[in-house]
Each structure stands twice: as C-alpha cells, then as structure tokens.
Amino acid sequence: MRINEFGQPIGDMISFAGAMMPEPVQLTGRTVLVVPLDENQDDAFYERIFGPQCDKSIMTYSTHDLYPDRPAFDSGFASMLESRDPLFFAILRKPSAPELGADQPAGGKDADMSEHMKLHDSSDLLGMYALQRIRSDMGSAEMGHVIYTKELQRSRQATEAQYLMARHVFEDLGYRRYEWKCDSLNAPSRAAALRLGFKAEGRFRNDMVYKGRTRDTDWFSIMDSEWPAVKKRLETWLDDDNFDHDGRQKRRLQDC
C-alpha cells in the first residue's frame, strides 16, 4: 500500500491509456457463433424470443419482455439495432460447414460475417446478450441483457458464448474490469456468474424498479489480473476431450 505525503493510503500508480470501444464483430467458437444483431435476424428473434407466443418465463428477470404484436417488436428491435451502448449480439448455433471449422481462433473475425449473420433457420438462434455500461476510459464494461432460450440454458454453448465475449473484452479490447449484475432473486444468474469466474462484490439494495417490482442488484466482476486463471479453467472445460460422444461433460467447470 502506498502512503502519500499526508500519511493517507492511496492506490497504486498505473499506466493505462484507456481501452478500445467495442465494435459489432463476430466471435467464433467450436459450438456457437456470436454475431452482431442484424435486421435479417428479425423473424428469428420474433419467433424464438420476443413474440407473444414465446416462453415468457425467460423474461422474468430481464428488463425486456415479450412484445404483444409484430409492429411493437419491429420498433423495439430497430432500437436495439441502432444502439451502441448496450451493443447487442445474437448467439447462434454454429454451422457444421468445413469453412467454419473448430480450428478458427475464438474471437477471430470472419471475412464473410454478413453471410453468417443471416439466419437460414430460425432454430439456429439460441439467445442474445450485450455489452453495456461501457466506460472505455476506465477500462470497464458489463455483460448484460442476457436472454437464453431453454435450449441454450445450462449448456456447453452458453458457457462458450460467455467465454468468447470475456476473451474479447480482456484480450482484444484491453479492459481492466468486466462486470455482471443481476436481480438478487435470480439464483440461476448468480450461480452462472460464480461458475464463470466472476467474484461477488456485494448487493445494491433498492437499486431498481422494473416491471412494477423492486430490485436489489447483486454485483460481480472479473479483473484483468484474474482473467488468465479464469481463461485456463474455461478452456480446459470447453475442450472437446472433456465431453463424451453424447455431449455430456466429464468434469464440472468448478473441478477444472
């Protein structure tokens, strides 16, 4: 701990010139593609996530909700397309085409990204998330707006999608802090944050009012100094050798 000339404890001096602002890039993994929201995905989002016929239970702890009809959805989706903070991404099932092989580095940019952003089958849309509260000057960004279809929940694909974005934030963009926040009553989200390597920081009481309900917000984070160890655990768990022929894990992430 450093002490200044007045006998007061102060933080360490660092050389940090800021992080890069995130751009709408594609991140490619073994099992998923993470791509920017695109107008060509509108039908899939309406059919799978936001339409009135969709599973309302996945919206319980989200600030989003199902739309009552297509015009209302089109207006909301257009706003998401235009937004840069939050910057929204779609999580897609990865095609098995050879040109999208598993040897492509995670976080790499794809030359034909516009083609892969198009959905030829709405069932390939597995979920969405966003980078938000982006403070590039401070090197801090938050993972938010996480909405998973039931198919994506508690899956290898969900873990890989989170790994891809964390890697992008720390290694490509140079952030110092990566945040995760959720309703304190959202036990699955809290468990997911801890499982992924985020550390609990505390609870903001009466932090929000949404959907007519009060919300206490739990805060979690990963620091850049913690990322190498978190990355190693995630990559060990995600490795093909950790899954049997039926896709079942051999070791839990917390055991890696």
Helix (H) or strand (E) holding 73: helix 70-82
- SS3 (DSSP) at 130: strand
pLDDT of residue 111: 41
Sequence spans of domains, the chain: 23-255
CA distance 47 to 210: 24
pLDDT of residue 104: 38
Q: Would you tell me which CATH number, out of the four given (3.40.50.300, 3.40.630.30, 3.10.580.10, 3.40.449.10), belongs to the domain 23-255?
A: 3.40.630.30
CA distance 47 to 64: 15
pLDDT of residue 143: 99
Between strands 177-183 and 140-148, the pairing is: parallel
**pLDDT per residue as tens, the chain (256 positions):** 899 999 999 999 999 999 999 999 999 999 999 999 999 999 999 999 999 999 999 999 999 999 999 999 999 999 999 999 999 999 999 987 333 333 333 445 554 555 555 666 788 999 999 999 999 999 999 999 999 999 999 999 999 999 999 999 999 999 999 999 999 999 999 999 999 999 999 999 999 999 999 999 999 999 999 999 999 999 999 999 999 998 899 999 999 9
Q: Bridge-partner residues for 28, per DSSP?
A: 33
pTM of the complete model = 0.90
The distance of Cα 255 from the centroid of its chain, to the nearest Å, equals 23
Between strands 125-135 and 177-183, the pairing is: unpaired
